[in-house]
Structure 1
């Protein structure tokens, strides 16, 4: 069987894996944005214990490999009585892991806002939360689009490790098909690479467009 015919026959399998990859990436990124925003608030909080807690979280997830966290979730949690499926484990770990990167991206955006803006807000009697919501974050949002876009693209690629714990994503399907048809490995690799490009290239263009719109809004 030639490569074209093989890919045509394998398309339903690839499509199923592609959908799982997209779902895992989008769900994990949504969770990472929410948790990352909370962590960013902790990191810039005036309360020292909150800053310490945020820093500890970020350092832990930035310095321990993603694969280690995945294996902890799928192998160690059941021994503690917590049983979750492979997809749920991958979603939670990817969201928590990526949240540390989201946090730092948001914090860098906040730090890019001139200090005088925050001081002016305090002079007007705004609380920390009001100052953050009405003064700092609206300005920081314009500078965090590129790093948050890069975080999403990295997350899409990181989803590939979920196949190692049994998530039936694009990479998992590649492994199954390659095992059945070892002579088609190169064809399969090209197809899988194309599948990830379909997700990452449009994301890159979307980020560039949002960045241009943010620049005009300034």
Structure 2
């Protein structure tokens, strides 16, 4: 069988062609962690304009704080990657970052990353004349307290150039473990379960 499909419109593909595409995609999927880590390394050279730290340092600080709080691997990797979407989608980086991790972490962890942007407004929105309590629309959501704590303990506090962050090499095995999981495995996603942030 050819290693290239014959169709030019998806609707014309055969079962055999789609099985071929699935098989050809497997090596690419196995390299997801490599691509995520490469994006993090790139962020080492991107200063958050006006801030005292790089994009990578902010993620490292957040993840280090999470680990030191006794958080499990899902929360630590989420803290590391919560802003990974900033480079391509600054206006909706929270949602983009959540989509990067969503297939591989618990449901509540992805929800927190997806909504951390609006929860962070508590700290600064009033300076722009915006509603700093916009997060209150989620007050009855089971992940509200988790998101508030994530922002307070790990995100908003992680812009300190003197903080003793752990290096990316420390977190690399965790990233590889999380992205090595089967995508959307029910035993990982645990829809509806709300997990503690740390000890």
TM-score (norm 2): 0.28
TM-score (norm 1): 0.27
Greater helix proportion: 1
Larger Rg: 1
